[in-house]
Structure 1
Amino acid sequence: MKLKNKLLLTGVAIVATLFLGLNANAARMDMVDVSNNNGYMSTAEYVSMRNEFGVKAVTVKISEGGTYKDPYAASNIKNVQAAGMYINGYHFARYATKAQAIAEADFAGGTAKAAGLPVGAVLATDVESQEANNQSKATNDRNNSAFMKEIQKFGYRADIYTSGSWANNKMTIKGKTGWIAAYPYVVSGKNWYSTNHAWQWSSTAKFRISYGGFDVSQLNSNYYTAGMKSTVKPTNKAAVKANNRKANKNTFRPYASAKWVKETKTYTLKTAVKLRTGAATSSSVITILPAGDTVKTDRAIIQGGYRWVRQPRFNGYGYLVTGPANNTLEYVKSGATHTYYTVKSGDSWWTIAQRNGLSMTTLASQNGKTIYTTIYPGQRLVVQ
């Protein structure tokens, strides 16, 4: 989800052409979820979503783990309400134990209250983290149950958001519950997850006056509209019909010839960016890297509508977007930023690499050298 950001089906961009035409089962843009990744959203943007695209409800990110509060939660809630739409919230779960689940629920509930989320709204737990991936199904079920029970003490209704590949595998999602994310190759004629409350079918929806891609969901019950028949009516039904059809057709198409290229750089993020397990928006989110973080990369690729880079990590790799497929660096500060180390007498590739958490090979290559190149006191080396 938004960190909003989604484990779903694996592989390159598996969201592809959707041919739906006038099919009554075309995926609808009933609900949008937003977070800090979308930046500030004005009332006018939400009014446009409602009137031109038929959006009924918005679910905003409230918090993550036990300390992070989404800085845009309060303004999103206020502006959605001003636009006359249903409002809900979600918490990105990091809990691995029952005690942590209860603590996170208390944190999320308190944060939601302070941000102005009204009593009676849904406050869903977004379960897609590495912490949950490391747990058994029974443990995840216990933790999710504890979170949802605790969150109801704040007057909010509970639900679980997760991917289609995790539902009833990594955790139990009973019928007539759940908000499930799955981006199928072809949707034509099928109402996916019709027995669940909601189905998130795209993370790349475009709205006329809003920048970037958005997560959109079809509501299969009235749970996220406060259990009431919607009184929110779009003012331009012709535009809703046309925009809905366009959204269903214009999702990601795979880049057949995309190839990784070597890129040894360090970037500083100018906005929060999701770090994923693969170079696709359908890959699970490892964490959200905050603005100001520096990221060391070793590979880059143009794929799925974005420019992706690979970050070596202690247990493998992480992947993040630096900008759209036109190769611009919209999410990082212009140019690569570096930290330098001045070589001192007695230093070696090994001592400098160890001091800066690098391998000798990485240190040498990001300076255009090999580990057999002689270094001298006073020489400056890029270490970050």
Structure 2
Amino acid sequence: MKKIMRLVVAIMAAILFVQASTGLAQAAKGDQGVDWAKYQGYYGKFGYGSDKFVLAQIGGHNSGGLYDQDTYPTQVQSAIAQGKRVHSYFWWENVFNQATVDQLMNYTMPKVQTPKGSIVAIDFEAGAGNAALNTQLIKGAMQRIKNAGYTPMLYGYKSFLQSNVYLDQIIGQFGTCLWVGEYPDYNVTPKPNYNFFPSMDGVAIFQFTSTYILGGLDGNVDLTGITDNGYTKHDNPVTETPATDAGQAADNTHKSQIEVGNTVKVNFSAQRWATGEGIPSFIKGQSYKVIQVAGDRVLLDGVLSWANKKDVEIISTTTGNSTSGSSYTVQWGDSWWAIANRYGMSMYNLAAINGKSINTMLYPGQVLQVSGTTTTNRTYAVRYGDNLSTIANRLGTTWQQLANRNGIGSPYWIYPGQALVY
């Protein structure tokens, strides 16, 4: 018996050693989550009801210089409203000198809307220079993130990072701080396959797929508990920002108080519309404006279907009704596209009328000049397999007019559940 016990202990020790050497010792933490850029829309999208966290893109620096992501504040709000932990990241491309680093950090850090302690990650996967210089500049930026009271991380693909950064120096200064993507294939992958884990030191978050769900979404697993940073044990932010305040206000609003103009998400657990028909899977987890309320039912814009209040979750209490004559007062969560859509014009024309571009930041209380008055728009909900040409043919218009009306820069940038105005 003693020999058997010694053998069991030896085997367990060997397993623990192998796990430690491959970075899997703490993988049992296991919370899964997603990351969002502009392609996930103004309120983002989770893959499954069990997701616990999200990392939302602020903007960053690319080959064209600095840029802003206007979906970021409402994505933070949306995640908080759904009781999730939300963190931030920004794009790092063609950053070759300290002056550009300073410009990028001065531009980006004041825009962070996640709580102190939360992750602020550098997304480095393109536009690389000399490895020694990359390392020096990235270390300086991560230290600035840390000094500001956030948790610095570095994201990238294994081969790219190993080719362009001295990762031992990054890990030596900041500990287990890497967020690494490595995919076995492009099949729908709801759970991580640790046979394809990027065997390297310092990995805290493993991005295991870009096809978490049908249609595409990045799936991530927290290996160390790093996504708890900035949040209490009940997933409440430890410090407040305007975006987290807005999210908590929505989270604390009872469903009986849903109003026209609020934004709601259809729950993953929802089965049937209020009229009895089954709810398609691509509707679940999507967000829609409420255009009518009747008792315990709400009519959703874009799909023009009645949902039971018990089957939706409030993610924005903004009603966006502040219009007056030929001017409009910007509300929290507004975008150039949303405002232009309300007035039946393109966002490019709206920006031009106001002497700005669609990349100009909007802020609550800002007054914009608009042409015309509020119109009643017809909408079409994008379905799987759709493209702009087939939709345009179905609606009796052209894909160019449809793209212009909805502010779509590429005919391929549509997604299931998206509401197109025609």
TM-score (norm 2): 0.44
- Greater length-normalized contact order (CA 8 Å, ≥ 6 residues apart): 1
